[in-house]
Amino acid sequence: MRATPADRSDHPLAHRYRTVRSLTDSLAAPLSDADATVQSMDDASPAKWHLAHTTWFFETFVLRDHVPGYTLHDDRFPFLFNSYYEAEGRRHARSRRGMITRPSLDEVRGYRAAVDAALLAALPTLSEAAQELVALGCNHEEQHQELLLTDILHHFSENPLEPAMFAPEPKRPVAVPPPTGWIEHPGGIVQVGHGGQGFAFDCEGPRHDVLLHAHAIADRTVTNGEWAAFIADGGYRDARLWLADGWAWVQANGIDAPLYWERQGEVWTRFGLDGRRAIDPAAPVTHVSFFEADAYATWAGARLPTEFEWEAAAAAHDPAGGNQLDHAHAVEPRPSSGGPAFFGDVWQWTGSAYRPYPGFRTVEGAVGEYNGKFMSGQFVLRGSSCATPRGHARACYRNFFYPHQRWQFTGVRLAKDL
């Protein structure tokens, strides 16, 4: 039987699209309608909203704009599921997304199925520009897969029952990691940024020269056990270690440990997607803010790397390696299996402000609002995490958050001057 456009599997972009959309669906599969509707804080969004927003992206920027005669699935949805695109008009307030009890989770899944069918049917006839938007949408949805997991983790942590989303994985033997090793760099001119091959977000370029001073960067990230020593040494009580804004944040919010940590007797525990368990002292510490990362680095007699020091060191490493997201399971940082590791487990704070590279220009149209307008007051993180879909990251990838935020899988790698 001759394949129809809707079920063609020989188009590389069709395979990519199906793979991404299927993983999102499987991540949300364990959730009830109530689970998927609640919003635990302004920074987080309901899982149902993530499912719908990523679908709205494809429907709006591909189907509506590039498929003649396409009719919106529901003309009320653009108001509900637009995120921050001013060019797309009015939208529901971000802080009120948890009030969207209707459409139901099943209706949102129906929306996803309808858009999937329409896009796959149209894909063979789409222009090159439209296909580039499909590729952008796939990368956009991968970002939301990570956000979906971290937002659900925060939401479940607010439930007194601390429910698990996934069954815990078998416990692994705890092996004390070796002392931090240092990768030295003599300094000099290096090239950083996206070089033009393959996909990258606009904020990753243009590629350009930067001057690095002689420095060393740690061959692994900071562990839970090392962070526990920082706590025991009074790290959260010593104002000398903290930036002024960080110390004000600690005092105002009563911060005394990473997010989701809780002391039970003599044992530090953490809450994860598999429920509450004792921390693994050998695993990378996570859910720490830039303020905490900077204070720890000061306590350790080091500093945070610049984003370009990090990129220069990571360029020789496989961005698809390490502990990253492959399927729906209880993601968590894991102890190092040995050797320098720059990707997976935790995003790594750098000391670099999220600002444009020389020659940066936003792209035309509404999608030009994707990254550039957020280049204010945020810091760059590099690498990827255990919740980052494998294949999504690269050495030039720039993640970014405000310095107080820590609900993502954020960790710490040290650097020092030579």
Q: Which residues lie below 8 Å from residue 363, measured CB to CB, with a gap of 6+?
A: 202, 370
The answer to whether 40 and 155 have CB atoms below 8 angstroms apart is yes
Average pLDDT of the segment spanning 333-350:
87
* CA distances to 172, 354, 363 from 203, in Å: 39, 9, 10
Contact yes or no for 320/262 (Cβ under 8 A): no
pLDDT for res 169? 82
Q: Which domains does the chain possess?
A: 5-157 (1.20.120), 182-417 (3.90.1580.10)
Mean residue pLDDT of the chain comes to 94
β-strand partners of 347: 383, 410
At a CB cut-off of 8 Å and minimum separation 6, what does 23 contact? 145, 325, 327, 328, 389
- Please state the separation of Cα 91 from the chain's center in Å: 24
pLDDT in tens, 124-156: 999 999 999 999 999 999 999 999 999 999 999
Residue 4 pLDDT greater than 60, yes or no: no
List pLDDT tens digits, range 91-103. 999 999 999 999 9
Quickly list DSSP for 218-282: ESSPPBHHHHHHHHHTTGGG-GGGS-HHHHHHHHHHT--SSTTEEEETTEEEEEETTEEEE--TT
Please classify residue 364 by burial: count the beta carbons closer than 10 Å to its beta carbon, then call 0-12 exposed, 13-18 middle and 19+ buried: exposed
231 CB burial (10 A radius; 0-12, 13-18, 19+): middle
β-strand pairing of 215-218 with 347-353: unpaired
Residue 23 phi/psi, 5-degree rounding, is: -65, -40
346 Cβ partners below 8 Å, 6+ apart? Answer: 221, 284, 285, 286, 333, 383, 385, 386, 409, 410, 411, 412
- What percent of the chain is modeled with pLDDT above 70? 96
pLDDT over threshold 90, residue 178:
no
Radius of gyration of the chain (CA): 22
Q: What is the average per-residue pLDDT within 304-309?
A: 98
Are residues 226 and 187 in contact, defined by beta-carbon separation less than 8 angstroms?
A: no
Give the sheet arrangement for strand 399-401, strand by strand.
399-401, 379-383, 347-353, 410-411
Average pLDDT over residues 336-361: 90
Of the candidate ranges 166-170, 179-183, 257-261, 310-314, the one whose mean pLDDT is the lowest? 166-170
pLDDT at residue 337, as a whole number: 64
Give the integer Cα–Cα distance in Å for 112 and 20. 12
**Coil, helix or strand at residue 382:** strand
pLDDT for residue 1: 26
Contacts of 182 by beta carbon, 8 Å cutoff, 6+ apart: 216, 217, 218, 219, 416
pTM of the model: 0.95
